[in-house]
Amino acid sequence: MKALVSWLRFAWTTLTSMRTALVLLAVLGIAAMPGSLLPQRPTNPVGVSDYLKAHPDVGPWLDRLGFFDVFGSAWFAAIYLLLFISLIGCILPRTAGYLREVRSQPAPAPGKLTRLPGHASAVVETDAAAVLDAAEAHLRARGYRVRRDTESISAERGYLRETGNLVFHICLVTMLIGLAWGSLFQFRGTAIVVEGQAFSNTLTQYDDFGSGAAFRSTQLSPFTIRLDSFDVRFETGPVQTGAAREFNAHVRVSQPGQDDTTASLQVNAPLQLGGDQVSLLGHGYAPVVTVKDGKGDVAFSGPVVFLPQDANFRSEGVIKAPDARPERLAFQGVFLPTAVSGGASGMVSAFPDALNPELLLNVWSGPPKQETGAPENVYALDTTGLTQLKDDQGNPVSVALTPGTGFKLPDGKGSITFDGWKRWTKLQVSTTPGGWLVLGSVMLAVLGMALSLTVKPRRLFVRVSAGPSLDPVGTSAPTTVSVAGLDRVDGRGGLAGEVEALATACGIAATLSPTEDEEER
Protein backbone atom coordinates (compact mmCIF):
# COMPACT_ATOMS: atom_id res chain seq x y z
CA MET A 1 0.00 0.00 0.00
CA LYS A 2 2.83 2.37 0.87
CA ALA A 3 4.45 1.65 -2.50
CA LEU A 4 1.19 2.41 -4.31
CA VAL A 5 0.79 5.73 -2.47
CA SER A 6 4.40 6.59 -3.25
CA TRP A 7 3.90 5.78 -6.91
CA LEU A 8 0.68 7.84 -7.09
CA ARG A 9 2.42 10.79 -5.45
CA PHE A 10 5.25 10.52 -7.97
CA ALA A 11 2.79 10.31 -10.88
CA TRP A 12 0.85 13.34 -9.63
CA THR A 13 4.04 15.35 -9.12
CA THR A 14 5.23 14.48 -12.61
CA LEU A 15 1.87 15.26 -14.21
CA THR A 16 1.55 18.63 -12.50
CA SER A 17 5.05 19.83 -13.31
CA MET A 18 5.43 22.73 -15.72
CA ARG A 19 7.69 20.64 -17.94
CA THR A 20 4.93 18.03 -18.36
CA ALA A 21 2.39 20.76 -19.15
CA LEU A 22 4.64 22.14 -21.89
CA VAL A 23 5.18 18.66 -23.33
CA LEU A 24 1.43 17.98 -23.33
CA LEU A 25 0.79 21.33 -25.02
CA ALA A 26 3.24 20.41 -27.78
CA VAL A 27 1.70 16.94 -28.10
CA LEU A 28 -1.76 18.49 -28.38
CA GLY A 29 -0.58 20.71 -31.23
CA ILE A 30 0.94 17.72 -33.04
CA ALA A 31 -2.20 15.63 -32.46
CA ALA A 32 -4.34 18.38 -34.02
CA MET A 33 -2.35 18.36 -37.28
CA PRO A 34 -4.21 15.40 -38.88
CA GLY A 35 -7.42 17.38 -38.36
CA SER A 36 -6.20 19.96 -40.86
CA LEU A 37 -4.44 17.56 -43.24
CA LEU A 38 -7.17 14.92 -43.57
CA PRO A 39 -10.90 15.41 -44.32
CA GLN A 40 -13.00 15.26 -41.18
CA ARG A 41 -16.27 13.33 -41.09
CA PRO A 42 -18.27 15.94 -39.10
CA THR A 43 -17.50 18.70 -41.63
CA ASN A 44 -16.68 16.87 -44.87
CA PRO A 45 -18.23 13.38 -45.01
CA VAL A 46 -18.00 13.31 -48.81
CA GLY A 47 -14.27 14.04 -48.64
CA VAL A 48 -13.80 11.17 -46.17
CA SER A 49 -15.67 8.80 -48.47
CA ASP A 50 -13.55 9.88 -51.44
CA TYR A 51 -10.35 9.44 -49.42
CA LEU A 52 -11.35 5.92 -48.37
CA LYS A 53 -12.05 5.01 -52.00
CA ALA A 54 -8.75 6.50 -53.17
CA HIS A 55 -6.71 4.83 -50.38
CA PRO A 56 -8.25 1.40 -49.74
CA ASP A 57 -5.18 0.16 -47.84
CA VAL A 58 -4.36 2.92 -45.35
CA GLY A 59 -7.78 4.57 -45.26
CA PRO A 60 -9.58 1.94 -43.11
CA TRP A 61 -6.74 1.95 -40.57
CA LEU A 62 -6.85 5.72 -40.30
CA ASP A 63 -10.60 5.47 -39.83
CA ARG A 64 -10.24 2.92 -37.02
CA LEU A 65 -7.73 5.17 -35.27
CA GLY A 66 -10.08 8.14 -35.45
CA PHE A 67 -8.04 10.28 -37.83
CA PHE A 68 -11.19 11.30 -39.73
CA ASP A 69 -12.71 12.74 -36.54
CA VAL A 70 -9.62 13.90 -34.71
CA PHE A 71 -11.28 16.37 -32.37
CA GLY A 72 -13.92 13.86 -31.36
CA SER A 73 -11.56 10.92 -30.84
CA ALA A 74 -10.85 9.38 -27.44
CA TRP A 75 -7.08 9.83 -27.70
CA PHE A 76 -7.37 13.55 -28.48
CA ALA A 77 -9.78 13.98 -25.56
CA ALA A 78 -7.31 12.14 -23.29
CA ILE A 79 -4.46 14.50 -24.23
CA TYR A 80 -6.77 17.47 -23.77
CA LEU A 81 -7.88 16.28 -20.33
CA LEU A 82 -4.33 15.52 -19.16
CA LEU A 83 -3.19 18.98 -20.22
CA PHE A 84 -6.13 20.51 -18.39
CA ILE A 85 -5.32 18.62 -15.17
CA SER A 86 -1.61 19.35 -15.50
CA LEU A 87 -2.16 23.09 -15.83
CA ILE A 88 -4.54 23.22 -12.88
CA GLY A 89 -2.11 21.16 -10.80
CA CYS A 90 0.65 23.65 -11.66
CA ILE A 91 -1.39 26.77 -11.06
CA LEU A 92 -3.12 26.06 -7.73
CA PRO A 93 -0.04 25.51 -5.51
CA ARG A 94 1.83 28.25 -7.32
CA THR A 95 -1.03 30.69 -6.73
CA ALA A 96 -1.22 29.74 -3.06
CA GLY A 97 2.52 30.30 -2.63
CA TYR A 98 2.32 33.63 -4.44
CA LEU A 99 -0.51 34.85 -2.20
CA ARG A 100 1.47 33.89 0.90
CA GLU A 101 4.49 35.75 -0.44
CA VAL A 102 2.48 38.89 -1.21
CA ARG A 103 0.94 38.98 2.27
CA SER A 104 4.26 38.42 4.05
CA GLN A 105 7.08 40.92 4.53
CA PRO A 106 10.22 40.82 2.38
CA ALA A 107 12.96 38.50 3.57
CA PRO A 108 15.42 40.05 6.09
CA ALA A 109 18.67 41.47 4.83
CA PRO A 110 21.59 39.03 4.61
CA GLY A 111 24.29 39.26 7.23
CA LYS A 112 27.07 39.92 4.73
CA LEU A 113 26.03 42.21 1.89
CA THR A 114 29.52 42.03 0.42
CA ARG A 115 28.61 38.72 -1.24
CA LEU A 116 25.84 40.33 -3.30
CA PRO A 117 26.40 42.04 -6.66
CA GLY A 118 26.72 45.81 -6.71
CA HIS A 119 27.90 46.16 -3.11
CA ALA A 120 28.78 49.61 -1.83
CA SER A 121 29.99 50.53 1.68
CA ALA A 122 31.25 53.62 3.47
CA VAL A 123 31.46 55.35 6.87
CA VAL A 124 29.30 58.41 7.43
CA GLU A 125 28.88 60.81 10.30
CA THR A 126 25.08 60.59 10.09
CA ASP A 127 23.12 58.81 12.79
CA ALA A 128 22.13 55.22 11.91
CA ALA A 129 18.42 55.91 12.38
CA ALA A 130 18.62 58.89 10.05
CA VAL A 131 20.34 56.75 7.41
CA LEU A 132 17.61 54.13 7.65
CA ASP A 133 14.91 56.84 7.49
CA ALA A 134 16.42 58.26 4.31
CA ALA A 135 16.78 54.79 2.75
CA GLU A 136 13.19 53.86 3.62
CA ALA A 137 11.79 57.07 2.12
CA HIS A 138 13.83 56.54 -1.05
CA LEU A 139 12.71 52.94 -1.49
CA ARG A 140 9.03 53.60 -0.83
CA ALA A 141 9.08 56.43 -3.35
CA ARG A 142 10.33 53.94 -5.95
CA GLY A 143 7.52 51.46 -5.28
CA TYR A 144 9.38 48.95 -3.11
CA ARG A 145 7.77 47.01 -0.30
CA VAL A 146 9.97 47.73 2.69
CA ARG A 147 10.87 45.71 5.77
CA ARG A 148 12.71 47.67 8.44
CA ASP A 149 14.58 46.04 11.26
CA THR A 150 16.80 47.55 13.94
CA GLU A 151 19.95 47.73 11.84
CA SER A 152 18.79 46.89 8.34
CA ILE A 153 16.23 47.43 5.63
CA SER A 154 15.23 44.94 2.97
CA ALA A 155 13.02 46.02 0.08
CA GLU A 156 11.48 44.17 -2.81
CA ARG A 157 9.45 44.96 -5.90
CA GLY A 158 8.42 43.19 -9.13
CA TYR A 159 5.55 41.07 -7.82
CA LEU A 160 3.65 41.77 -11.04
CA ARG A 161 6.05 39.47 -12.85
CA GLU A 162 4.64 36.45 -11.06
CA THR A 163 1.15 37.90 -11.47
CA GLY A 164 1.75 37.96 -15.23
CA ASN A 165 2.94 34.36 -15.19
CA LEU A 166 -0.12 33.22 -13.24
CA VAL A 167 -2.47 35.21 -15.49
CA PHE A 168 -0.87 33.60 -18.54
CA HIS A 169 -1.31 30.06 -17.22
CA ILE A 170 -4.82 30.68 -15.91
CA CYS A 171 -5.75 32.04 -19.33
CA LEU A 172 -4.45 28.83 -20.91
CA VAL A 173 -6.91 26.90 -18.75
CA THR A 174 -9.83 29.19 -19.54
CA MET A 175 -8.92 29.02 -23.23
CA LEU A 176 -9.08 25.22 -23.06
CA ILE A 177 -12.46 25.50 -21.35
CA GLY A 178 -13.68 27.83 -24.10
CA LEU A 179 -12.42 25.51 -26.84
CA ALA A 180 -14.08 22.50 -25.20
CA TRP A 181 -17.31 24.44 -24.79
CA GLY A 182 -17.28 25.47 -28.43
CA SER A 183 -16.37 21.98 -29.62
CA LEU A 184 -19.21 20.35 -27.72
CA PHE A 185 -22.00 22.79 -28.58
CA GLN A 186 -20.93 24.21 -31.95
CA PHE A 187 -22.58 23.50 -35.28
CA ARG A 188 -21.92 24.47 -38.87
CA GLY A 189 -24.16 23.89 -41.85
CA THR A 190 -24.29 25.09 -45.44
CA ALA A 191 -27.11 25.51 -47.91
CA ILE A 192 -27.32 26.75 -51.50
CA VAL A 193 -30.08 29.27 -52.12
CA VAL A 194 -31.14 30.38 -55.61
CA GLU A 195 -32.43 33.89 -56.32
CA GLY A 196 -36.11 34.05 -55.51
CA GLN A 197 -35.95 31.10 -53.13
CA ALA A 198 -35.68 30.94 -49.34
CA PHE A 199 -33.91 28.98 -46.63
CA SER A 200 -35.40 28.12 -43.23
CA ASN A 201 -33.08 27.31 -40.37
CA THR A 202 -34.07 23.69 -39.80
CA LEU A 203 -31.96 20.56 -40.10
CA THR A 204 -33.81 19.31 -43.18
CA GLN A 205 -32.93 22.48 -45.14
CA TYR A 206 -29.15 22.02 -44.95
CA ASP A 207 -27.10 20.51 -47.75
CA ASP A 208 -24.46 19.43 -45.25
CA PHE A 209 -24.31 19.78 -41.49
CA GLY A 210 -21.81 19.08 -38.72
CA SER A 211 -22.07 19.62 -34.99
CA GLY A 212 -20.51 18.91 -31.62
CA ALA A 213 -21.40 15.97 -29.41
CA ALA A 214 -23.65 18.03 -27.12
CA PHE A 215 -25.51 19.88 -29.89
CA ARG A 216 -29.30 19.75 -29.90
CA SER A 217 -31.55 20.93 -32.71
CA THR A 218 -33.26 23.30 -30.27
CA GLN A 219 -30.10 25.44 -30.45
CA LEU A 220 -31.06 26.54 -33.98
CA SER A 221 -32.47 30.04 -34.02
CA PRO A 222 -35.81 30.17 -35.86
CA PHE A 223 -35.52 32.34 -38.96
CA THR A 224 -36.04 32.30 -42.71
CA ILE A 225 -33.83 34.04 -45.27
CA ARG A 226 -35.14 34.80 -48.76
CA LEU A 227 -32.61 35.69 -51.44
CA ASP A 228 -34.21 38.49 -53.44
CA SER A 229 -31.21 39.22 -55.67
CA PHE A 230 -27.48 38.79 -55.85
CA ASP A 231 -25.27 41.53 -57.30
CA VAL A 232 -21.89 40.60 -58.73
CA ARG A 233 -19.32 42.84 -60.35
CA PHE A 234 -16.09 41.73 -62.01
CA GLU A 235 -13.14 43.76 -63.22
CA THR A 236 -13.44 44.55 -66.94
CA GLY A 237 -10.33 46.69 -67.31
CA PRO A 238 -7.01 45.54 -68.76
CA VAL A 239 -5.52 44.93 -65.28
CA GLN A 240 -6.77 41.88 -63.34
CA THR A 241 -9.52 41.22 -65.83
CA GLY A 242 -12.23 39.03 -64.31
CA ALA A 243 -11.18 39.67 -60.71
CA ALA A 244 -14.07 39.89 -58.24
CA ARG A 245 -14.96 43.42 -57.18
CA GLU A 246 -18.34 43.08 -55.47
CA PHE A 247 -20.55 40.30 -54.07
CA ASN A 248 -23.72 41.56 -52.45
CA ALA A 249 -26.69 39.38 -51.53
CA HIS A 250 -29.92 41.27 -50.89
CA VAL A 251 -31.99 39.19 -48.48
CA ARG A 252 -35.23 39.37 -46.54
CA VAL A 253 -35.17 37.97 -43.02
CA SER A 254 -38.23 36.64 -41.21
CA GLN A 255 -38.16 35.86 -37.49
CA PRO A 256 -41.04 34.85 -35.21
CA GLY A 257 -42.72 37.80 -33.53
CA GLN A 258 -40.81 40.36 -35.62
CA ASP A 259 -41.47 42.28 -38.79
CA ASP A 260 -39.61 41.18 -41.90
CA THR A 261 -36.38 43.07 -42.45
CA THR A 262 -34.09 43.55 -45.43
CA ALA A 263 -30.35 43.15 -45.16
CA SER A 264 -27.25 43.03 -47.29
CA LEU A 265 -25.03 39.99 -46.92
CA GLN A 266 -21.44 40.31 -48.09
CA VAL A 267 -18.21 38.37 -47.85
CA ASN A 268 -16.61 38.93 -44.42
CA ALA A 269 -19.74 40.78 -43.29
CA PRO A 270 -22.02 38.08 -41.81
CA LEU A 271 -25.47 38.51 -40.32
CA GLN A 272 -26.12 37.73 -36.67
CA LEU A 273 -29.57 36.19 -36.28
CA GLY A 274 -30.37 35.15 -32.74
CA GLY A 275 -27.43 33.09 -31.61
CA ASP A 276 -26.44 32.03 -35.14
CA GLN A 277 -24.13 33.66 -37.64
CA VAL A 278 -24.99 33.63 -41.35
CA SER A 279 -22.05 34.02 -43.73
CA LEU A 280 -21.72 34.20 -47.50
CA LEU A 281 -19.32 31.51 -48.73
CA GLY A 282 -19.71 31.29 -52.49
CA HIS A 283 -21.90 31.78 -55.52
CA GLY A 284 -22.55 30.46 -58.99
CA TYR A 285 -25.11 30.02 -61.76
CA ALA A 286 -28.34 28.05 -61.94
CA PRO A 287 -29.69 27.60 -65.49
CA VAL A 288 -33.49 27.69 -65.63
CA VAL A 289 -34.83 24.87 -67.84
CA THR A 290 -38.12 23.21 -68.75
CA VAL A 291 -38.14 19.51 -69.57
CA LYS A 292 -41.12 17.87 -71.28
CA ASP A 293 -41.43 14.13 -71.60
CA GLY A 294 -42.52 12.01 -74.54
CA LYS A 295 -46.19 12.61 -73.68
CA GLY A 296 -45.74 16.38 -73.84
CA ASP A 297 -46.14 16.86 -70.10
CA VAL A 298 -43.78 19.04 -68.08
CA ALA A 299 -41.53 16.64 -66.21
CA PHE A 300 -39.30 19.30 -64.66
CA SER A 301 -39.20 23.10 -64.61
CA GLY A 302 -37.02 25.48 -62.64
CA PRO A 303 -33.44 26.47 -61.83
CA VAL A 304 -30.74 23.82 -61.49
CA VAL A 305 -27.58 24.55 -59.49
CA PHE A 306 -24.37 24.16 -61.50
CA LEU A 307 -21.04 24.13 -59.67
CA PRO A 308 -18.18 26.37 -60.95
CA GLN A 309 -15.03 24.58 -62.04
CA ASP A 310 -12.61 27.44 -62.78
CA ALA A 311 -12.06 31.17 -62.29
CA ASN A 312 -14.23 31.98 -65.31
CA PHE A 313 -17.13 30.04 -63.79
CA ARG A 314 -17.29 27.22 -66.28
CA SER A 315 -19.91 25.24 -64.38
CA GLU A 316 -21.04 21.64 -64.43
CA GLY A 317 -24.33 20.17 -63.32
CA VAL A 318 -26.99 17.54 -63.81
CA ILE A 319 -30.63 17.97 -64.79
CA LYS A 320 -32.82 15.07 -63.72
CA ALA A 321 -36.42 14.36 -64.72
CA PRO A 322 -37.20 11.05 -62.98
CA ASP A 323 -40.96 11.52 -63.47
CA ALA A 324 -40.77 11.75 -67.27
CA ARG A 325 -42.80 9.13 -69.12
CA PRO A 326 -42.70 6.77 -70.84
CA GLU A 327 -38.95 7.05 -70.05
CA ARG A 328 -37.14 9.09 -67.47
CA LEU A 329 -34.69 11.67 -68.74
CA ALA A 330 -31.40 13.05 -67.47
CA PHE A 331 -28.95 15.63 -68.81
CA GLN A 332 -25.27 16.16 -68.08
CA GLY A 333 -24.52 19.81 -68.67
CA VAL A 334 -21.91 22.53 -68.80
CA PHE A 335 -22.86 26.18 -68.37
CA LEU A 336 -20.57 28.79 -69.91
CA PRO A 337 -21.27 32.37 -68.71
CA THR A 338 -19.29 33.90 -71.57
CA ALA A 339 -19.05 31.20 -74.22
CA VAL A 340 -16.25 31.43 -76.81
CA SER A 341 -14.53 28.88 -78.98
CA GLY A 342 -11.48 27.39 -77.37
CA GLY A 343 -10.17 25.77 -80.51
CA ALA A 344 -9.21 22.15 -79.99
CA SER A 345 -10.50 22.25 -76.41
CA GLY A 346 -14.02 23.13 -77.57
CA MET A 347 -16.18 25.83 -76.03
CA VAL A 348 -14.87 27.62 -72.96
CA SER A 349 -15.87 30.55 -70.78
CA ALA A 350 -13.74 33.66 -71.32
CA PHE A 351 -15.18 35.77 -68.46
CA PRO A 352 -16.92 35.00 -65.15
CA ASP A 353 -19.93 37.26 -65.79
CA ALA A 354 -22.85 36.11 -67.96
CA LEU A 355 -22.10 38.11 -71.11
CA ASN A 356 -22.81 35.32 -73.63
CA PRO A 357 -24.35 32.41 -71.70
CA GLU A 358 -24.60 29.00 -73.31
CA LEU A 359 -25.76 25.62 -72.00
CA LEU A 360 -24.17 22.43 -73.39
CA LEU A 361 -25.93 19.14 -72.69
CA ASN A 362 -25.63 15.37 -73.21
CA VAL A 363 -28.87 13.42 -72.96
CA TRP A 364 -29.65 10.13 -71.22
CA SER A 365 -32.87 8.16 -70.97
CA GLY A 366 -34.06 4.92 -69.45
CA PRO A 367 -37.03 3.07 -67.98
CA PRO A 368 -38.64 4.50 -64.83
CA LYS A 369 -36.68 3.78 -61.68
CA GLN A 370 -38.30 2.44 -58.54
CA GLU A 371 -37.95 4.84 -55.64
CA THR A 372 -35.96 3.35 -52.74
CA GLY A 373 -35.64 6.41 -50.51
CA ALA A 374 -31.84 6.18 -50.61
CA PRO A 375 -30.09 9.59 -50.75
CA GLU A 376 -28.73 10.61 -54.14
CA ASN A 377 -26.11 13.16 -55.12
CA VAL A 378 -27.88 15.96 -57.00
CA TYR A 379 -24.61 17.07 -58.61
CA ALA A 380 -23.68 13.67 -60.12
CA LEU A 381 -25.51 11.37 -62.51
CA ASP A 382 -25.76 7.66 -61.83
CA THR A 383 -26.05 6.21 -65.32
CA THR A 384 -27.15 2.78 -64.09
CA GLY A 385 -30.16 1.80 -66.18
CA LEU A 386 -29.72 4.79 -68.52
CA THR A 387 -28.66 4.92 -72.16
CA GLN A 388 -27.10 7.91 -73.84
CA LEU A 389 -29.18 9.17 -76.74
CA LYS A 390 -27.56 9.05 -80.17
CA ASP A 391 -28.40 10.63 -83.51
CA ASP A 392 -28.93 8.92 -86.85
CA GLN A 393 -25.16 8.61 -87.40
CA GLY A 394 -24.71 6.89 -84.05
CA ASN A 395 -23.04 9.86 -82.40
CA PRO A 396 -24.06 10.97 -78.88
CA VAL A 397 -26.65 13.69 -78.96
CA SER A 398 -25.01 16.97 -78.00
CA VAL A 399 -27.19 20.01 -77.36
CA ALA A 400 -26.04 23.66 -77.33
CA LEU A 401 -28.66 26.13 -76.10
CA THR A 402 -28.78 29.86 -75.56
CA PRO A 403 -31.40 31.59 -73.40
CA GLY A 404 -34.86 31.29 -74.96
CA THR A 405 -34.03 28.34 -77.23
CA GLY A 406 -35.00 24.69 -77.01
CA PHE A 407 -34.27 21.28 -78.48
CA LYS A 408 -36.51 18.33 -79.36
CA LEU A 409 -35.07 14.99 -78.40
CA PRO A 410 -34.86 12.25 -81.04
CA ASP A 411 -37.39 9.41 -81.20
CA GLY A 412 -40.07 11.59 -79.63
CA LYS A 413 -38.58 11.26 -76.14
CA GLY A 414 -39.39 14.85 -75.25
CA SER A 415 -37.76 18.27 -75.30
CA ILE A 416 -35.75 20.71 -73.21
CA THR A 417 -35.86 24.52 -73.19
CA PHE A 418 -33.24 26.87 -71.79
CA ASP A 419 -35.43 29.58 -70.28
CA GLY A 420 -32.67 31.70 -68.71
CA TRP A 421 -30.43 31.68 -65.67
CA LYS A 422 -30.28 32.82 -62.06
CA ARG A 423 -27.53 33.21 -59.53
CA TRP A 424 -27.20 31.16 -56.39
CA THR A 425 -25.35 31.77 -53.13
CA LYS A 426 -23.90 29.36 -50.64
CA LEU A 427 -24.83 30.32 -47.09
CA GLN A 428 -23.15 29.03 -43.97
CA VAL A 429 -25.02 29.10 -40.68
CA SER A 430 -22.85 28.48 -37.65
CA THR A 431 -22.36 29.15 -33.99
CA THR A 432 -19.37 28.57 -31.76
CA PRO A 433 -20.28 29.28 -28.13
CA GLY A 434 -17.36 30.16 -25.93
CA GLY A 435 -15.63 32.16 -28.64
CA TRP A 436 -15.70 35.27 -26.45
CA LEU A 437 -14.04 33.29 -23.67
CA VAL A 438 -11.27 32.09 -26.00
CA LEU A 439 -10.69 35.59 -27.37
CA GLY A 440 -10.65 37.17 -23.92
CA SER A 441 -8.28 34.48 -22.63
CA VAL A 442 -5.87 35.03 -25.50
CA MET A 443 -5.84 38.80 -24.95
CA LEU A 444 -5.27 38.45 -21.21
CA ALA A 445 -2.60 35.80 -21.81
CA VAL A 446 -0.71 38.23 -24.05
CA LEU A 447 -1.00 40.90 -21.36
CA GLY A 448 0.25 38.46 -18.72
CA MET A 449 3.18 37.44 -20.90
CA ALA A 450 4.05 41.11 -21.48
CA LEU A 451 4.08 41.70 -17.72
CA SER A 452 6.28 38.69 -17.06
CA LEU A 453 8.77 39.79 -19.71
CA THR A 454 8.99 43.47 -18.76
CA VAL A 455 8.66 43.63 -14.97
CA LYS A 456 11.98 43.38 -13.10
CA PRO A 457 11.76 41.62 -9.75
CA ARG A 458 14.52 43.12 -7.61
CA ARG A 459 15.69 43.25 -4.01
CA LEU A 460 17.71 46.02 -2.33
CA PHE A 461 19.29 45.93 1.10
CA VAL A 462 20.72 48.44 3.55
CA ARG A 463 22.67 47.55 6.71
CA VAL A 464 24.07 50.01 9.22
CA SER A 465 26.36 49.53 12.16
CA ALA A 466 27.42 52.29 14.56
CA GLY A 467 31.03 52.38 15.66
CA PRO A 468 32.16 53.00 19.29
CA SER A 469 31.67 56.59 20.44
CA LEU A 470 34.90 58.67 20.48
CA ASP A 471 33.30 61.75 22.00
CA PRO A 472 32.86 61.72 25.81
CA VAL A 473 30.10 64.27 25.47
CA GLY A 474 27.97 61.66 23.65
CA THR A 475 27.84 63.05 20.14
CA SER A 476 26.94 60.70 17.32
CA ALA A 477 29.52 58.13 16.42
CA PRO A 478 30.46 57.36 12.80
CA THR A 479 28.13 54.87 11.09
CA THR A 480 29.15 52.15 8.63
CA VAL A 481 26.58 51.93 5.84
CA SER A 482 26.42 49.00 3.40
CA VAL A 483 24.03 48.74 0.45
CA ALA A 484 23.58 45.97 -2.10
CA GLY A 485 21.07 44.66 -4.59
CA LEU A 486 20.01 41.42 -6.13
CA ASP A 487 18.07 40.67 -9.31
CA ARG A 488 15.77 37.67 -9.03
CA VAL A 489 15.97 37.06 -12.77
CA ASP A 490 19.21 36.70 -14.66
CA GLY A 491 19.96 38.92 -17.62
CA ARG A 492 18.19 42.04 -16.27
CA GLY A 493 19.91 45.43 -16.53
CA GLY A 494 19.71 48.48 -14.31
CA LEU A 495 20.73 46.92 -10.99
CA ALA A 496 23.89 49.00 -10.71
CA GLY A 497 21.94 52.22 -11.16
CA GLU A 498 19.42 51.23 -8.47
CA VAL A 499 22.17 50.44 -5.98
CA GLU A 500 24.00 53.68 -6.76
CA ALA A 501 20.80 55.69 -6.27
CA LEU A 502 20.19 53.95 -2.92
CA ALA A 503 23.79 54.59 -1.86
CA THR A 504 23.42 58.27 -2.70
CA ALA A 505 20.21 58.47 -0.67
CA CYS A 506 22.08 56.94 2.28
CA GLY A 507 24.81 59.59 1.98
CA ILE A 508 27.65 57.38 0.79
CA ALA A 509 29.69 57.40 -2.40
CA ALA A 510 28.07 55.65 -5.37
CA THR A 511 31.21 53.73 -6.27
CA LEU A 512 30.39 50.04 -6.37
CA SER A 513 32.79 47.43 -5.03
CA PRO A 514 33.18 43.87 -6.37
CA THR A 515 31.70 41.03 -4.37
CA GLU A 516 33.86 38.83 -2.21
CA ASP A 517 33.46 35.99 -4.70
CA GLU A 518 34.73 38.26 -7.49
CA GLU A 519 37.72 39.32 -5.36
CA GLU A 520 38.61 35.68 -4.71
CA ARG A 521 38.57 35.01 -8.45
Residue 102 has pLDDT above 70, yes or no: yes
The 10s digit of each residue's pLDDT in 18-66 is: 788 889 889 988 988 888 888 887 767 777 888 888 888 898 999 988 8
Alpha helix stretches (DSSP H) within 55-119:
59-64, 74-103
Residue 452 — pLDDT band, cuts 50, 70, 90? confident
> Which of these ranges, 2-11, 263-272, 325-334, 512-521, has the smallest mean pLDDT?
512-521
Residue 521 has pLDDT above 50, yes or no: no
Q: What is the model's pLDDT at position 199?
A: 94
Arithmetic mean of pLDDT, 138-155: 92
Residue 109 near residue 152, CB atoms below 8 Å: yes
Residue 136 has pLDDT above 70, yes or no: yes
Strand residue runs (E) in 69-201: 120-124, 145-148, 152-157, 187-194, 198-200
CA dihedral 276, 429, 252, 249 (to 10 degrees): 130
Arithmetic mean of pLDDT, 175-197: 89
The 10s digit of each residue's pLDDT in 218-227 is: 888 899 999 9
CA dihedral 486, 93, 5, 14 (to 10 degrees): -70
Residue 6 — pLDDT band, cuts 50, 70, 90? confident
Buried/exposed code over 485-499 (b: 16+ C-beta within 10 A; e: otherwise): bbbeeeeeeebeebb
Residue 351 has pLDDT above 60, yes or no: yes
Name the percent of the chain in helix, strand, coil, to the closest 5. Answer: 35, 35, 35
Q: What is the largest CA-CA distance in the chain?
A: 139
Residue 184 — pLDDT band, cuts 50, 70, 90? confident
Residue 233 near residue 249, CB atoms below 8 Å: no
- Percent with pLDDT over 90 in the chain: 36
Q: At what angle do helices 159-185 and 74-103 cross, to 10 degrees?
A: 150
Q: Reduced to 3 states, what is the DSSP secondary structure of residue 277?
A: strand
Arithmetic mean of pLDDT, 478-495: 79
Q: Reduced to 3 states, what is the DSSP secondary structure of residue 270?
A: coil
CA dihedral 513, 515, 517, 520 (to 10 degrees): 20
Residue 520 — pLDDT band, cuts 50, 70, 90? very low
- Predicted TM-score of the model (pTM): 0.69
